[in-house]
Amino acid sequence: MLKWILTGGILPILLGGSGIFFIFYLKGAPLKSPRRMLRAMTLPTPSGGTSPFRAVMLALAGTLGVGNIVGVANAIAIGGVGAVFWMWISALVAMILKYAEILLAVSHRRSGKHGFFGGAYYYIKDHFLSKGRFRTAAIISGLFAVLMIVDALTMGCVIQVNAVSHAWSGVTSLPAWVGGVLLLVLAFPIILRGSRGISSLTELLVPIMSAGYIILSIAVLIVCHEKVGGAFGAIFREAFSPASMGGGVLGFLTSSALRTGTMRGLLSNEAGCGTAPTAHAAADAHSPASQGIWGIFEVFVDTILLCTATALVILVSLPQVEMLGHDPVMMTIRAYSSVLGTWSEWFFCAAVFCFGYATVLCWANYGMESVAFLGHGRIWRYLYIAAVGACIVIGSAVAPDSVWDLADFSIAALTSINLLVLIMMRREIKTETKRWMKS
């Protein structure tokens, strides 16, 4: 019941309402100043530390994964074609939320011997401490860190590995566990190196795999160009159909298309849920607001660009792939191969592997940072790494239906907490935004 309330009832309203609130509260800034946003993203990187670009590549590694591939197919299979429209809306509204949370993360980060570090739990803690609510600060920030760990092990590990293993098995006909073992062997040495090793790898891997995925998608859409217009028409038509709206406003707010589209859009871009600030806090940024601009770029690349590419490829391949709705990985793979031929299945299998690999690495880092925030010693860090290894093994063998539910619940709970805190800290966000706009 609580999961349904969070994911089906409150979250779409809370996410959309918070985004609209901040758009008006900040008077459209920074979205109304595209030139200033572009200038912020092209500023020279300060010497030393982690570059803003490297930080956003690490954050994108955490979002470019199962949400772009499995999540989109899952949204279409469960919520219908109209769910794609609500993924777009949730992304557009959530851009300002990602800007706000990254701004706060940079403002409230800490400095250590290896550079900057931080995350949503730090600004949550600082906010309540500033109000003299010491117990609340410890409880809420600690709960947030625990939920981050849960999400790291479910969405960031089991679901990613399951997607990779299914793609591996479906294309190569080898046992699914073989893909899981390969992922384990490649991931563990990087995870043990910590955040610097992970960010160094994702800085190279993310641009390459994103470019390859876009090129493959464009090739499909060029071949099926006569169906693209119909696909867009179906998205808009079904988003507002009586069936999707469920009859009236109440049905609309709890409809399958809206709920599934919002949840899968959130799963993909993570805007508003307070996870990406962990990566961005490490950036040697010029200002909190300038690093927040990279968050807007992150949502655009993830959901507006890559998720749309996946959705259109699936839609132009219907009805050939419709019968694979129960297996989102193979549904997406077949969508590409039905147009380009079987060779593309091998390319797509490699793309799924790279997406999943990068996401596992990023979320392993998020989990380790959360363990560190909770104040536990080195033994707890190694226990967490062992748990990641166990989840990789589990993910390669187990269908993740219940894990999807747990991932949905944890990310919905994270988002609910984070959005409420963002609203509480709205004045700080506005003050910092004004300072940046005047610079």
Q: What is the pLDDT of residues 152-204, one digit of tens each?
A: 999 888 888 887 887 778 778 778 788 888 888 998 888 888 777 787 788 78
Instruction: Give the mean pLDDT of 358-385.
Output: 89
Q: Is the pLDDT of residue 212 over 90?
A: no
User: How far apart are the C-alpha atoms of 430 and 348, rounded to whole Å?
Assistant: 43
Q: Is residue 253 part of a domain?
A: yes
Q: Is residue 24 part of a domain?
A: no
Q: Which amino acid is at 317?
A: S
> So what's the pLDDT on residue 318?
81
Q: Which amino acid is at 39?
A: R
pLDDT tens digits along 285-307: 888 999 999 989 888 888 788 88
Q: Is residue 38 part of a domain?
A: no
**CATH code at position 73:** 1.20.1740.10
Q: Pick the most confident of 12-16, 78-82, 175-179, 328-332.
A: 175-179
pLDDT tens digits along 385-400: 999 999 998 888 876 6
Q: Is residue 25 part of a domain?
A: no
User: How far apart are the C-alpha atoms of 278 and 296, rounded to whole Å?
Assistant: 16
Q: Is residue 32 part of a domain?
A: no
Domain extent for 393: 52-438
Whole-structure pTM value: 0.86
Q: Is the pLDDT of residue 48 over 50?
A: yes
> So what's the pLDDT on residue 23?
92
Mapping DSSP to helix (H, G, I), strand (E, B) and coil, where does residue 110 land? strand
Of 154, 185, 179, nearest to 359 (Cα)? Answer: 154
Secondary structure (H, E, C), the chain:
CHHHHHHHHHHHHHHHHHHHHHHHHCCCCCCCCHHHHHHHHCCCCCCCCECHHHHHHHHHHHHCCHHHHHHHHHHHHHHCCCHHHHHHHHHHHHHHHHHHHHHHHHHCCEEECCEEECCHHHHHHHHHHHCCCHHHHHHHHHHHHHHHHHHHHHHHHHHHHHHHHHHHHHHHCCCHHHHHHHHHHHHHHHHHHCHHHHHHHHHHHHHHHHHHHHHHHHHHHHHCHHHHHHHHHHHHHHHCCHHHHCCHHHHHHCCHHHHHHHHHHHHHHCCCCCCCHHHHCCECCCCHHHHHHHHHHHHHHHHHHHHHHHHHHHHHCCCCCHHHCCCHHHHHHHHHHHHHCCHHHHHHHHHHHHHHHHHHHHHHHHHHHHHHHCCCCHHHHHHHHHHHHHHHHHHCCCCCHHHHHHHHHHHHHHHHHHHHHHHHCHHHHHHHHHHHHHC
Q: Is residue 47 part of a domain?
A: no
Q: Which amino acid is at 51?
A: S
Q: Is residue 390 part of a domain?
A: yes
- For residue 253, name the pLDDT band (cuts at 50, 70, 90): very low
Q: Is the pLDDT of residue 338 over 80?
A: yes
Q: How would you classify the pairing of strands 110-112 and 115-117?
A: antiparallel
Q: Is the pLDDT of residue 47 over 60?
A: no
Q: Is the pLDDT of residue 268 over 60?
A: no
User: How far apart are the C-alpha atoms of 86 and 199, rounded to whole Å?
Assistant: 31
Query: In this prediction, what percent of the chain has a pLDDT beyond 90?
Result: 31
The total of structural domains in the chain comes to 1
Instruction: Give the mean pLDDT of 405-412.
Output: 82
Q: Is residue 34 part of a domain?
A: no
Instruction: Give the mean pLDDT of 274-284.
Output: 90
Tokens of 26: 């900040």
